[in-house]
Structure 1
Amino acid sequence: MTGEINNLGPQAPAGPSMRSSATGELLRLLQPQQALLAPGETAKAEVLALRQVGQDFQLLLKLTQENGKQINVQASSNLALPQGSLLAVSQSSASNLSISLQQVLASSVASLTRLDTRETPVGSLLQGKVVTSQMLPQAAGQVAQYRSLVSLLGPQAGTTLTLDSPRPLAVGSLLSARVLGDQSLQFVPLSGRQDQLAITQQLGTQQSRQASLQGLLSALQQLRQDSNQNGEVRNSVDKLLASLPDARQLSDPKGLAQALNNSGAFLEAKLLGGLGQQLAPDFKAQVVRLVAQLLPGLPGTSTFNPAAAASTLAQVMPGMVRNALGMLGQVSPRPHPGSFPLPSRLLKSQDGEADLEHLLRLAAAAISRLQSHQLASLEQTGTTPEGNLQTTWQLEIPLRSGQDFIPLQFKLQREETPEQQNDPQREQRDPLEMRWRIELSFDLQPLGPLQVQAQISQGSLSSQLWAELPRTAQLIDSQLGNLRERLLARGLNVTELCCHHGTPPQGPRTRLEQRWVDETA
């Protein structure tokens, strides 16, 4: 079922409510009050809450009188006035408050009449609670239409939508809808969507807090050289930096698998699986442990208990540092949830901020970045429109290069058809029979920023590369023939291999709808 976002604001049904609006007696006090407002006095009223009871609507109003005194009153109305509506009211009797018809129509601005697809891209999901539902006036022979006010949840909390739909929406029910355009939504079943919506909301929160790993790693290098620092802390920093892989390790299949396993993307799975012995080299676990060691040095913190912290690694971050510092909700451009790669972002030390506070802020931002990758993996895992099962792993590995660190962003996707999923010999089949996609993003000096996209299926490979520096694009293009020969020698059928200057095209793309060209189609 689809619904239209009404661009006229809430309208009253025909009959008594429109007639009452013309007289101005719209609001009936649930508890009559004498002299609530002096004769001729006008007060500002804000709709704090709205609830539908049968065909009527109960409102909680905050009245602000001319002398500044405020009072909350309950009233009923034939009109659905959205939460947040601002009105000018006067008291016509002990039981009624009066507002003009013009005031009712002006209040419709509190209800969203059109979606901004820059904020809610086409394909994104919205969740809301149905506050009201009314049948619209209709001529004989016309299909019934219903108008509802829907209070949005999640990142859009506080926003009210006015929706028209061919079926009534149950008051108080939750609904989930996919954005089809600035004035249309498609309702989708809630089953299997609550978790997806929660992931999307958490992803937006983590991405607003994240920062690049280079800032933390550079700060740790400086801390390692600080002779005044606690010896246990310096030892943890030495282990963390020494555990980071280099290019030689990533060129070996086993070394690459180990680096992926220790990237932090699988920390929670290890904890749930009771694999505590595998936590030592895990990058995210090491950062969490380091934060727990640094916190006692922060003014105002209580004595640190190492044994207790070791048993609660999964709960230490990021809440503990956010509570200690209260400085992580920084304003920054927020990438679209699920976007790849995550943009570079460095945190600068704030005025009056101690070195330890800045280091802890860097550590919390780095963990938020790793969690952004994890949540993006979950967001892009599910069933494609064709019915195939797509599984996504997105992560980031800090690569050692001399004294510098090069963050390598990595996304791997596997797609299985229903036949492959139900095959009893699935575990014994060649993994390359499935469709695989890989995306890489890194900044390697002196080549500059590079991105790679590749797809392999049934032994055929297609790949595209993007280089932001023109000279790098020319260099790579001159070597593609040699790369093609090496791939053919490994038994792969290379269908496409090219390099472009610039970056891959970006735009509003929804989960599981980022489709590459299928050469076999």
Structure 2
Amino acid sequence: MTGEINNLAALIPANPPLRAAMTAELLRLLQPQQALLAPGETAKAEVLTLRQVGQDFQMLLKLTLDNGKQTNVQASSTLPLAQGSQLTVSQSSSANLTISVQQAIASNVATLTRIDTRELPVGSLLQGKVLTSQALPQNAGQLAQFRSLVTLLGGPQAGATLAIDSPRPLPVGSLLSARVQSDQSLSFVPLSGRQEQLAISQQLSTQQSRQASLQGLLNTLQQLPRDNSQPNELRATVDKLLASLPDVRQLSDPKGLAQALNNSGVFLEAKLLAGLPAALAPDLKAQVVRLVAQLLPGLPGNATFNPGAAASTLAQVMPGMVRNALGMLGQVSPRPHPGGFPLPSRLLQSQDGEGDLEHLLRLAAATISRLQSHQLASLEQTGTTADGNLQTTWQLEIPLRTGQDFMPLQMKLQREETPEQQSDPERERRDPLEMLWRIELSFDLHPLGPLQVQAQISQGSLSSQLWAELPSTAQLIESQLGHLRERLLARGLNVGELQCHHGTPPQGPRTHLEQRWVDEQA
């Protein structure tokens, strides 16, 4: 379905008016057949297929004679008869079949004129294929109306035909995705958005298979020999990249944290679109792209970052997002479950016969794929929730300098706005903490081991759960939760649940913690 079609209403009377042409020669045989039916003989006919050709409708009919013999014939009509319609026909001439008005009216039982909300409750998602599209008679001063027959794909009423009236014609053969609003009303979702979600999911899977942990690249860069064996431009890029990495002290300051988030690489493309090349120097992804540009054969080293050169380099190391169609007819995939958080650790080993610069180039490309994986995961988890709220996600990774080592800090922030908050004219001036915020952190801090944190803030109230993989660390954190609660209360927050667990958070679209959060807001 084209993106212009957003809201359509299925407002069909119980007995749609039939054209006067139904009284004679309704069906024209595409291949005239003599004595198909004897004079006065009738046969049962079932519409097997229906397709629109211009203003006419071609059908494949299965005729069953009184003696039980069956035969298939092709016919055309100016009126669409839904697939599955049962008719009684007689042959008026070698080129025509005739059906009675009563039989034609009865055939419309096969076409749904309303939705059974017992089988398809309000909010259910429907998929279908447009079989026909026909302009309805228009009176002076009235808006044009178009009637379409749509075959439902999947669900409890799969194979049924739905009659839809709309102010715009539906392209014949197109796929529709719609949500049930009532027994006679549908809200259609543009398929372009579903195709983008599918493309994001496919590209995310590809990038995650190529990615590697940031420590591999950073440790290799730190061990590069400081001699004349490396070009000056490359050495300068490496030094600038390592010097730009934040430490724990910087993240303890609000302005330092904001700067680290801004330079994490997740906003690189937005900066380029805004025309801000001068502000890209500390951006992690921009610096790794520059490093790749200086390593790739045939690309001259350039200490000054050039957005055009960056775009060329990105095209070589990261293939563009392929916007494929939905594949086989009728298989409209539901929105895929977002990629797992946190991204797993993965280190690339040097291959046999591979030089130092070749290995460094492979590490840099894998780092870009990892940063790209976070960006794609952010896109995949951004959109409208089942409750109608707008959820925006930012997923990123910041490498922290801890002495001579590096500790990657993975972070996911989600903001959720209700429809009322989205339409509030004072939205920009309101306190951001009035919205629902979810924060997830994942890091491996020596000697505490791997840690994960989930927190939710809404209306000034905070709840949090922590997970430690080492039993001793879980006991240590549990003993300090009272002190943490006091410090949070001193900051003016209302503190709800604070717990620490041994192990890792449960995985899936809805964890137990998220369910409790929803209950708290009910």
TM-score tier, shorter chain, comes to 0.5 to 0.7
313, 316, 328: which one aligns with 2:312:
316
Structure 1 contact 263–397 (Cα < 8 Å) conserved: yes
**Alignment pair present for 1:357 and 2:351:** no
Structure 1 contact 473–501 (Cα < 8 Å) conserved: yes
Mapping 1:482-493, distance limit 5 Å: 482-493=483-494
1:388 CA displacement: 1.4
Structure 2 contact 265–284 (Cα < 8 Å) conserved: yes
**Alignment pair present for 1:407 and 2:408:** yes
Mapping 1:140-151, distance limit 5 Å: none
AA at the equivalent of 1:320 = Q
Partner of 2:202: 201
**Alignment pair present for 1:258 and 2:255:** no
1:381 CA displacement: 1.1
**Cα distance in 2 for residues equivalent to 1:173 and 1:505:** 40
Structure 1 contact 131–172 (Cα < 8 Å) conserved: yes
Partner of 1:167: 161
Mapping 1:165-314, distance limit 5 Å: 165-167=159-161, 173-174=174-175, 189-190=190-191, 192-223=193-224, 225=226, 227-295=228-296, 301-302=297-298, 304=300, 306=302, 310-314=306-310
**Cα distance in 2 for residues equivalent to 1:312 and 1:129:** 43
Partner of 1:420: 421
Cα deviations by residue, 1:342-392 (Å, 9 ceiling, x for unpaired): 111111112222221111111111011111111111111111122211111
Q: Give TM-score scaled by structure 1 length.
A: 0.61
Partner of 1:368: 369
- State the secondary structure of the residue aligned to 1:480: helix
Moved more, 219-228 or 445-454: 219-228
Q: Which runs of 5+ in 2 are unaligned?
A: 1-50, 61-73, 75-124, 133-148, 163-169, 180-187, 320-335
Cα deviations by residue, 1:8-35 (Å, 9 ceiling, x for unpaired): xxxxxxxxxxxxxxxxxxxxxxxxxxxx
Q: Percent identity?
A: 76
1:321 CA displacement: 3.8
CA gap of 1:305–1:216, structure 2 versus 1, over 3 A, is: closer
Q: Give TM-score scaled by structure 2 length.
A: 0.61
Partner of 2:474: 473
Structure 1 contact 470–501 (Cα < 8 Å) conserved: yes
1:172 CA displacement: 5.0
Partner of 1:343: 344
Partner of 1:66: none
Partner of 1:84: none
Structure 1 contact 129–172 (Cα < 8 Å) conserved: no
Q: Which runs of 5+ in 1 are unaligned?
A: 1-50, 57-77, 79-125, 134-143, 151-162, 179-186, 296-300, 324-334
Structure 2 contact 130–175 (Cα < 8 Å) conserved: no
**Cα distance in 1 for residues equivalent to 2:510 and 2:214:** 26
**Cα distance in 1 for residues equivalent to 2:474 and 2:497:** 16
Structure 1 contact 389–415 (Cα < 8 Å) conserved: yes
Cα deviations by residue, 1:192-212 (Å, 9 ceiling, x for unpaired): 323222222221221111111
**Cα distance in 1 for residues equivalent to 2:507 and 2:366:** 25
Mapping 1:15-164, distance limit 5 Å: 164=158
Structure 1 contact 455–463 (Cα < 8 Å) conserved: yes
AA at the equivalent of 2:161 = R
Higher Rg of the two aligned structures: 2
Runs of 4+ in 1 over 6 A off after TM superposition: 51-56, 128-133, 144-148, 168-171
Cα deviations by residue, 1:456-509 (Å, 9 ceiling, x for unpaired): 111110000000111100000000000001111111111100000000001356
**Cα distance in 2 for residues equivalent to 1:483 and 1:293:** 47
CA gap of 1:129–1:371, structure 2 versus 1, over 3 A, is: farther
AA at the equivalent of 2:285 = K
AA at the equivalent of 1:273 = A
**Cα distance in 2 for residues equivalent to 1:402 and 1:226:** 23
